[in-house]
Chain A
Amino acid sequence: MLIVWNDPINLMNYVVHVFRSYFGYPREEAERLMLLVHHKGHAVVASGPREEVERHAQAMHDYGLQATIARDAP
């Protein structure tokens, strides 16, 4: 699964924008995930086969988000 971690640089509206434009999440879901990242320190934002999740991780790094891949939720 793909985990996005909280960081002190990225703006809240930018994180919502990334979740909306890259994953296509509706605004409400993107905001829910962003708030999870912000308050809990991380959120699982996608899951799937390893190749697909690695592609997502690369895209998140391109957007400047702190994303990691794990088999289980942290």
Chain B
Amino acid sequence: MRIAAAPDGVRIEFAAEEAGLLTVLAHQFVDVVRDPELDDAPLLASLFPDAYRGDAEASAEFSRYTRDELEERKIAAAERISGTAREGLVVLDADEVEAWVRALTGIRTMVGTRLGIREDGDEPDAGPLAEIYGWLGELQWVLVDTMEGA
């Protein structure tokens, strides 16, 4: 993976397995958001937090009128990744980078939750999933820095 700033966005060079991995994870994320039965409660609690701590009724009401739109936007962002990630050169405009970065937070939340990361300092056991989590963090970090012109 190589990332460079482009005039209005970024250029990323993906290896085949990197693009494939991103696509699979984006699809998994969409599946989990569409069908919450597929995953565990901690993930959904992170993706759709209670808006009013200690007030279940107000939180439920908030959820009633925000959840559908939030689900749609999270799905749409993840689909921007699965729709554009491919082997070789990928050029993203500023709008697409924004969607990618937002979707990467959701995907990292999914992977991080599976790794048992619940609070600062939680170090996942070494293994393929932990490596993927680290790689996703690097990708998101560099994309944000590129966007911020750092």
A interface residues (Cβ-Cβ under 8 A, vs B):
6-11, 13-14, 16-17, 20-21, 54, 57-58, 61-64, 66-70
Residues of chain B lying within 8 A (CB to CB) of residue A69: 51-52, 62
B135 contacts A by Cβ under 8 Å? no
Pick from B14-22, B32-40, B85-93, B141-149 the stretch touching chain A: B141-149
Residues of chain B lying within 8 A (CB to CB) of residue A62: 70, 73-74, 102
Q: Which A-chain residue is minimally distant from B109 (CB atoms)? A: A9
A46–B109 Cα gap in the complex (Å)? 24
Residues of chain A lying within 8 A (CB to CB) of residue B50: 68
B117 contacts A by Cβ under 8 Å? yes
Residues of chain B lying within 8 A (CB to CB) of residue A58: 62, 66, 69-70
Interface size class of B (residues with CB under 8 A): 35 or more
Residues of chain A lying within 8 A (CB to CB) of residue B144: 11, 13-14, 17
Known contacts A17-B101, A64-B102: A70-B70 contact under CB 8 Å? no
A7–B141 Cα gap in the complex (Å)? 16
B interface residues (Cβ-Cβ under 8 A, vs A):
46-53, 62, 66, 69-70, 73-74, 98, 101-102, 105-106, 108-109, 112, 117-122, 137, 140-141, 144-145, 147-148, 150
- Give the Cβ gap from A26 to chain B, nearest Cβ, in Å: 13
Asked whether B51 lies within 8 Å of A64 as measured between CB atoms, the reply is no
Pick the residue among B47, B51, B74, B150 that contacts A13 (CB under 8 A). B150
Pick the residue among B46, B69, B101, B102 that contacts A7 (CB under 8 A). B46
Pick the residue among A8, A17, A66 that contacts B118 (CB under 8 A). A8
